[in-house]
Structure 1
Amino acid sequence: MWSNSATQPRDLRSGTPVWLKQGRRGGLGTAPDDDLSAEVAIIGGGISGALLADAALSAGRSVLVLDRRGFALGSTAASTALLQFELDLPLTHLIRRIGRERAARAWWRSASAVDALRGRIADLGLRCGFRERHTAYLPGNILDDAGLRAEAEARARIGLRSRHVGREELHALTGIARPGAVWSAGAAEADPVTLTRGLWRSALSRGARLVAPAEVTGIETTARGVTLRLGGGTTVKARHLALATGYELAPLLRPRGYRIISTWAMATRPQPSRLWPSRCLIWEAADPYLYLRSTADGRILVGGEDADFADEATRDRLIPRKIATLRRKLAALLPGVDTEPDFAWAGCFGASATSLPAIGPMPGEDRCFAVLGFGGNGITFSVIAAQIFGRWLLGLADPDRDVFGFGPH
């Protein structure tokens, strides 16, 4: 039995993300009324919850979703939505951590998740700015150019679409003056809020019930099902529960090696004539790292400067300083672009020791499934979580449960 708040309340973001430039968007959920029931209850109205709901509906289950704010208004709105298969931890480093075979499976599953998301978007007819992109992985204090050559070779050996490019080719593709980079195919970009809202509208059209605002104040599990208590006295009964609460962790979810950090991002004014030729996703093998992409209307979206999370007030006070640093780094990388921010925001972010998420049935709670999609591949990990969740509901084992589960990585 869990009491008080089922998850830790947290101010997940501050400022205005570019995806909310037309204002806060609500209207998808209804307030709880009488007692409710469904085969599957999901807590969390972001991208992870939306993809889990899609998987549960595809498995033929009735679905009820609860969120304390509203749908797609938490961490999802703060995402920069670089849909990469590349993990935060280089393949060569992950091999040393967890072994070649498991590291290869983690990277391959991440690559296939981008393809799966593209297919699901097409199946549902969602219009969310999804575009396939290449990525350029630049040298930094984690991997220099020699390290990037070894990284490209390691990826190519397991069949991933990566190769090393030298200074001249990199400059032709990006306008960046660096010794070289790992150039990869198989990434994408999207508007995360429009994508998530499209998934929720699809879920509604297939019979899902979306409830918000709804504060879950207690959870009781038995061998036969799960009972949720909501503020105001409403009760929810379900056969299975999925926690997709992102960085607002449940009290029982404290796996070793996972932590909450702060991150900052900005979007420039539209400048399509100044963008790099390939419009690829760009990031550095550095800590703290820099990453950038373009948007459909020609903005440059820049993020990074991650730091350990202290509290929301400290994170928010750092916004001017962190945005100034991002501007300096952008100007050094791409001289001549306009670095003036049109939007700036801060948010919570998750990190793990291996850059891998924790996804699967909760230890000791056979009726409960949880998603800790920590690391820089949040949306990609959400796709993997939905695949594992759908199989779990059908009583099928996932072939990579040892890589992504709650056991030691």
Structure 2
Amino acid sequence: MTRKLDLRTGRPVWYAYRAPSVPAGKLTRDIKTDVAIIGMGISGAMMAEALTEAGHSVVCIDRRGPLLGSTSATTALVQFEIDQPLSLLSRQIGKQKAERAWRRSRLAVMNIKARIDELGIRCNTQTKQSLYLAGDALDAAALRAEAEARRLAGIHATYLAPSALREKFGMERDGAILSHDNLALDPRKLTAGLFRKARERKARFYAPVEATAVKSSRNEVVVATADGPTITASHVVLATGYELVADLVPASGHKIISTWAIATRPQKQKLWPDEAFIWEASDPYLYMRATADGRVICGGEDEDFIDEARRDALIAGKSDRISQKLKRLLPQLDTTPEFAWAGSFGTTATGLPFIGKLPRHPRIHAVMGYGGNGITYSRIAAEIVSAAISGGIDCDADLFGFRR
């Protein structure tokens, strides 16, 4: 049913830290539930927590197991800044819709933080500033215009001239935008914590279980599995990440690319001021953050192809290039990689995800959190889809739907 991908290769840095276990059983008989979620990564976890909180019975399955897909490959810069700058997105979809998308993204980050605090999930959450550096995609003048667009949309942003950037962060660039209240966290710990909360509310987890077909009718959806048992649900949520459900999800408007990342040894004393997220307006772009124990995670060098063998063969070379770029920007760091990995990554032309009911299948909902804001978009999806399943309408559903 899905296009199977090797979603990551190498050893992501998150395996240096222990995450709570998520027990999953064997599916040995036909079962029924209110909602069946296919996929047990961060999107599936946020959906399971939101739906069980709303009182729905939930079953989650995954063909690998919990936390074994692309979630572990994320660098987990949980920020509201959409890949497509507000000034550019406004030209693509109109100023009003672009501002709504940016404000909703900001609200989602706030809601993630509030939910983590409310549930008491320990995932090394830290509130961070974000520094967007001038590059070959947006120069200093374009960054000034971007900061003004955000200000007019009610999103606080400060433009830093080269002298201010040098004084505050010790970096030599033509300018930057400084923003606030983004999140650094451990994605495996967050995902496990959300699943465990859903399990406390009687959610059922089965893995490894491969869904082979999803058939919807007027009143229900039936999920067939490779080993025989079926799952009958009132609704199904496809949280399969970048492994598309080829016969259901529209193929246009999105694509899969390859990305690489490294992580250094812990070096807390050598980090930059405030350990702000850093990313640059360049193509290919570079982005970085620090972990709670002082490692530097740095990624980028994305390329527009999907061949996993070719992607994996480039890990060593891409790691060296990322390390060298990091050294040029922050020469005080030891940029030698202790961890290096590659992954598959989804993009859209606007940087906005696809979320909502599938065309002609109103009981099947897809969560395609594409772009560099995957965890942020997972939260938006949990809000939009849980509202739809509960009989409501999210006011921003039209921004992310398949018919937009």
**TM-score category of the 2 structures, normalised to the smaller one:** over 0.9
Residues 1:140 and 2:167 are matched in the alignment: no
Residues 1:72 and 2:75 are matched in the alignment: no
Instruction: Tell me if the contact between 2:19 and 2:188 (Cα under 8 Å) persists in the aligned partners.
Output: no
Q: Distance in 2 between matches of 1:186 and 1:277?
A: 16
Count of residue correspondences: 403
Residues 1:168 and 2:136 are matched in the alignment: no
Instruction: Tell me if the contact between 2:24 and 2:205 (Cα under 8 Å) persists in the aligned partners.
Output: yes
Q: Where does 1:398-409 land on structure 2 (aligned, <5 Å)?
A: 398-408=394-404
Q: Distance in 2 between matches of 1:145 and 1:257?
A: 31
Instruction: Tell me if the contact between 1:173 and 1:276 (Cα under 8 Å) persists in the aligned partners.
Output: no
Q: How far 1:256 sits from its partner (Å)?
A: 2.3
Q: Distance in 1 between matches of 2:158 and 2:403?
A: 33
Cα RMSD for the two superposed structures: 1.2
- For residues 202-236 of structure 1, give each alpha carbon's deviation from its aligned partner in whole angstroms, at most 9, with x where no partner exists: 11111000110001112211101011111111111
Letter in 1 for 2:381: A
In structure 1, the residue matched to 2:341 is 345
Q: Distance in 2 between matches of 1:119 and 1:22?
A: 23
Residues 1:188 and 2:180 are matched in the alignment: no
Letter in 2 for 1:169: A
Q: Distance in 2 between matches of 1:402 and 1:274?
A: 45
Letter in 1 for 2:67: A
Residues 1:35 and 2:40 are matched in the alignment: no
Instruction: Tell me if the contact between 1:161 and 1:186 (Cα under 8 Å) persists in the aligned partners.
Output: no
Q: Where does 1:2-401 land on structure 2 (aligned, <5 Å)?
A: 6-21=1-16, 27-251=22-246, 252-401=248-397
Q: Distance in 1 between matches of 2:166 and 2:274?
A: 10
- For residues 178-216 of structure 1, give each alpha carbon's deviation from its aligned partner in whole angstroms, at most 9, with x where no partner exists: 122000012111000010001111111110001100011
Q: Distance in 2 between matches of 1:249 and 1:373?
A: 12
Q: Distance in 1 between matches of 2:183 and 2:18?
A: 25
- For residues 307-341 of structure 1, give each alpha carbon's deviation from its aligned partner in whole angstroms, at most 9, with x where no partner exists: 11231101000101111110111011111210100
Letter in 1 for 2:388: W
Instruction: Tell me if the contact between 1:174 and 1:279 (Cα under 8 Å) persists in the aligned partners.
Output: no
Q: Distance in 2 between matches of 1:28 and 1:124?
A: 19
Instruction: Tell me if the contact between 1:356 and 1:374 (Cα under 8 Å) persists in the aligned partners.
Output: yes
Q: How far 1:382 sits from its partner (Å)?
A: 0.3
Q: How far 1:25 sits from its partner (Å)?
A: 7.5
Q: Distance in 2 between matches of 1:145 and 1:13?
A: 35
Q: Distance in 1 between matches of 2:17 and 2:48?
A: 26
Instruction: Tell me if the contact between 1:171 and 1:177 (Cα under 8 Å) persists in the aligned partners.
Output: yes
Q: Distance in 2 between matches of 1:102 and 1:402?
A: 10
Q: Distance in 2 between matches of 1:381 and 1:208?
A: 22
Q: Distance in 2 between matches of 1:370 and 1:94?
A: 23
- For residues 8-44 of structure 1, give each alpha carbon's deviation from its aligned partner in whole angstroms, at most 9, with x where no partner exists: 1111000010101258985521121221111000000
TM-score by length of 2: 0.98
Instruction: Tell me if the contact between 2:306 and 2:344 (Cα under 8 Å) persists in the aligned partners.
Output: no
3-state DSSP of counterpart to 1:341: coil
Instruction: Tell me if the contact between 1:31 and 1:213 (Cα under 8 Å) persists in the aligned partners.
Output: yes
Aligned CA distance change for structure 1 residues 260 and 196 (closer, same or farther; 3 Å)? same
Q: Distance in 2 between matches of 1:271 and 1:314?
A: 32
Q: Distance in 2 between matches of 1:299 and 1:405?
A: 38
Runs of 4+ in 1 over 4 A off after TM superposition: 22-27
Instruction: Tell me if the contact between 2:20 and 2:192 (Cα under 8 Å) persists in the aligned partners.
Output: no
Q: Distance in 1 between matches of 2:251 and 2:40?
A: 23
Q: How far 1:86 sits from its partner (Å)?
A: 0.3
Q: Distance in 2 between matches of 1:146 and 1:201?
A: 47
Aligned CA distance change for structure 1 residues 124 and 25 (closer, same or farther; 3 Å)? closer
Q: How far 1:390 sits from its partner (Å)?
A: 1.3
- For residues 26-77 of structure 1, give each alpha carbon's deviation from its aligned partner in whole angstroms, at most 9, with x where no partner exists: 5521121221111000000000001111111122100000001111111000
Task: Report the identity percentage.
Answer: 49
3-state DSSP of counterpart to 2:56: coil
Letter in 1 for 2:234: R
Unaligned runs of 5+ in 2: none
Q: Distance in 2 between matches of 1:223 and 1:49?
A: 24
Q: Distance in 1 between matches of 2:306 and 2:237?
A: 28
Aligned CA distance change for structure 1 residues 168 and 324 (closer, same or farther; 3 Å)? same
Aligned CA distance change for structure 1 residues 261 and 155 (closer, same or farther; 3 Å)? same
Letter in 2 for 1:337: L
Letter in 2 for 1:339: T
Q: Distance in 2 between matches of 1:184 and 1:50?
A: 28
Q: Distance in 2 between matches of 1:265 and 1:331?
A: 14
Unaligned runs of 5+ in 1: 1-5
